[in-house]
With several copies, the nearest count.
Chain A
């Protein structure tokens, strides 16, 4: 069981962390969340050129850096910490993983270099974000009529040049590719609970689309990859909120003493630290599983479930321990709270992932006894 990070990875985390600390201060977050586009094109270009993270986990032959889930996880964790606003999760992670996993060589050559360079934005359209087994029930594809159906919640579809769409076919669920500006695609913006993450409804009416690769795909693998990246983002956010809360507890005085000296609050913080530490260990283990198959097949489920619970618990307490001020718009806590709530339910609830974990153990046991 490998644990921990290499020195290079630690250094990379520092560089990425410093970058977003500088480029994604909360004033910027508050500005972008009000806007429809929701991200800065300048910063996107810097992320491609200066920081080099847009294609961090794409193979080098397609303009990427050839790293894997561990390094991508570092980026996601730091983005989550600073609540970075932009289509990174939608394009680089979601659509990127889909292309890497399933794309033909030609498709990868056509799209990945542009995505890594920052000139192309893609979005992955899944018609179910609760349960991977339900994907492809509401959108169908066949060779004659192309894509038909609706996905209710799609990240950053309104910013995308390219859509990759999960759709049911006669022979299972496949991924399909089409330009986002096709007239038979209707993208309708939706209001988000977490306004730092832009959502749309995407509707297809006889929209022609090309199969990604051979039209078959391993959706469970993709779901695990995305869940793992999301868990990292959550851990970063949870760390930030937890640290901010500790600072507040040390500074805020009531009844003549810092409220952090009240034992009930101290013990609560110890409990939160435990959840956070365990969730972080699970999340980093999931990255190693996704990267190298090292560890348990349920690693991503464990990570997403634990990170989701820990982030929400910390977010709730971050408000509660601030009292009234924590409930105001002016205070920043709610921005992370909303991200926590939205991430909790995105790509499977903690309950869903726990059920998936047991199913994987059962499958594994059956394999062993077969």
Chain B
């Protein structure tokens, strides 16, 4: 067998295809198929051989995925939080932790969720105050988390909690793997203004974590969280598509569709959050509002912003591929541009609808999509870091302007914080 890292593309494809030909069966139960996938090393070919993978390069792994897609075979369990968990574990977990958790992530046996944000620390994530205290042979957890997608059907959580209150805020955090099925953990759905409930709040009252489920060392939580956050920033758009398999016929596809429906449920309104620029011109045309000169101006602004933001993003990608890894202006303004575009899109959709924008739910235009746009767009300039934080970053890191004075450098115990935390 040739060394896998030097395998030619065609060889990779052929290896996958022959393995699939042998093992793929649309009448096999999904969980059984996933076990087989993991055993074969095909669930995560880029992972190390000792941890369920084949040590492939990222490019080779992409080829595998592509071949699966062409073949119509269902891949390993996906879903954003699972990927956060597996990648963080791969980077920072010890062997025992990797053995304990990685397999069940790939098979889909275990669901995961992220437990970082708190009501009292949004923009200021490192100012969180959920408390982890070592009592006897356990860590005891008390506090509250929020914005926890999938927490209501997660088996384990990636928990960031404060273990030391006498050091500056970033230094007192630790990273835990917490069992969500215990009496001290309560998950409540959190509804948004657009009617969807994509997130949860999670309450900890003397919940516990075993010492062996501390990830990394005590006090290293912030740097480990940085790994999780950087994976999160890469986005999940490809995973959310579901691929070709979601449209095929067969027992395993039915199971896959059910899984997908659950996992993607929180995200159905995400396209509307961007303002749905794609609908702007067609709606203006269909409604006849395209003849309103003020709308034409607003629409032209919208389309220009969108088009030039796409161009800017493409340029940033080119530069990144060229190995230019310093913070580039092109990349950094993308998030701000997305907010500006979504707001302008909401404005344009409002102009198109006129008084029709008074209607909500399914009575709203485009089968209810327009109302959902108007009520979802406010999220885009908040989620994943507010525009305000992003502007600070752009001003300081890209433009080199001086930093804001800081008032939270001392021991966390002495830093002013919200009443809700104390």
Name A residues whose Cβ lies closer than 8 Å to a Cβ of B.
1, 3-4, 128-130, 152-153, 190-195, 197, 199, 246, 249-258, 260-267, 269-271, 273-274, 277-279, 281-282, 284-285, 296, 302, 305-306, 316, 319-320, 323-331, 333-334, 337-338, 341-342, 344-347, 349, 351, 354-355, 357-358, 361-362, 365
Contact = CB atoms under 8 A, between A and B. Distances in A.
B323 to A, nearest CB: 14
Given A270-B391, A338-B193, 18 more contacts: A3-B314, A153-B359, A190-B363, A193-B375, A249-B401, A253-B120, A260-B401, A260-B402, A264-B391, A267-B388, A269-B395, A270-B333, A305-B300, A306-B308, A327-B192, A329-B192, A341-B374, A355-B297
Nearest to A347: B355
Contacts of B388: 262, 264-265, 267
B285 interface: yes
Interface stretch (B19-27, B132-140, B376-384): B376-384
Contacts of A319: 193, 378, 382
A346 B124 CA distance: 39
Nearest to A302: B304
A277 B351 contact: no
A128 to B, nearest CB: 8
B364 interface: yes
Contacts of A328: 190-193
Interface of B: 117, 119-124, 127, 146-147, 190-193, 195, 281, 285, 290, 292-297, 299-301, 303-305, 307-312, 314-315, 318-319, 329-330, 333, 336-337, 340, 343, 350-351, 353-364, 371, 374-375, 378-379, 381-383, 386-388, 390-392, 394-396, 398-408, 415-419
Contacts of B299: 358
A346 B336 contact: no
A252 B193 contact: no
A278 B308 contact: yes
Output the residue of A254, A269, A302, A306 with the most chain B CB within 10 A: A254
A281 B311 CA distance: 6
Nearest to A260: B401
Contacts of A192: 358-360
A303 B249 CA distance: 48
Contacts of B147: 324
A270 B336 contact: yes
Chain B interface mostly: helix
A329 B285 CA distance: 34
29 contacts: A1-B314, A3-B311, A152-B356, A153-B356, A191-B361, A192-B360, A193-B358, A246-B399, A253-B120, A256-B407, A262-B388, A266-B392, A270-B333, A270-B392, A270-B395, A273-B399, A277-B329, A278-B308, A278-B337, A282-B308, A285-B307, A296-B307, A306-B308, A320-B387, A328-B193, A337-B193, A337-B378, A341-B350, A358-B296
Output the residue of A271, A316, A324 with the most chain B CB within 10 A: A324
Nearest to B337: A274
Nearest to B354: A130
A342 B391 contact: no
B351 A261 contact: no
Nearest to B120: A253
B404 A263 contact: yes
A250 B66 CA distance: 49
Given A261-B403, A264-B388, A129 B121 contact: no
B383 to A, nearest CB: 7
B378 A273 contact: no
A344 B357 CA distance: 9
Contacts of A346: 355, 358
B402 A261 contact: yes
A305 B416 CA distance: 42
Given A253-B416, A354-B301, A320 B386 contact: yes
B379 A327 contact: yes
Given A264-B388, A278-B333, A256 B408 contact: yes
Contacts of B312: 277-278, 281
A258 B390 CA distance: 19
Contacts of A358: 290, 296, 299-300
B399 to A, nearest CB: 6
Given A269-B395, A285-B311, A316-B378, A306 B304 contact: yes
A274 B340 contact: yes
Contacts of B357: 193, 341-342, 344-345
Q: A-B pairs with the 9 shortest C-beta distances? A: A256-B408, A354-B300, A334-B193, A191-B361, A266-B395, A129-B355, A256-B407, A193-B360, A329-B191
A191 to B, nearest CB: 4
Output the residue of B127, B357, B378, B419 with the most chain A CB within 10 A: B378
Nearest to A245: B399
Given A254-B122, A255-B406, A355-B297, A327 B399 contact: no
A358 B299 CA distance: 8
B122 to A, nearest CB: 5
A265 B388 CA distance: 9
A285 B308 contact: yes
A285 B315 CA distance: 11
B318 A250 contact: no
Contacts of A199: 358-359
B351 A351 contact: yes
A267 B374 contact: no
Given A4-B318, A153-B355, A153-B356, A357 B195 contact: no
Given A191-B360, A269-B401, A341-B374, A323 B285 contact: no
A258 B401 CA distance: 9
Nearest to A331: B193
Contacts of B404: 261-263
Given A261-B403, A281-B311, A354-B297, A266 B193 contact: no
A305 B296 CA distance: 14
B371 A1 contact: no
B314 to A, nearest CB: 5
A357 B401 contact: no
Contacts of B293: 355
Contacts of B119: 325
A264 B343 CA distance: 19
Contacts of B406: 255-256
Output the residue of B386, B387, B391, B417 with the most chain A CB within 10 A: B391
Nearest to B353: A345
B359 A270 contact: no
A270 B386 contact: no
A311 to B, nearest CB: 13
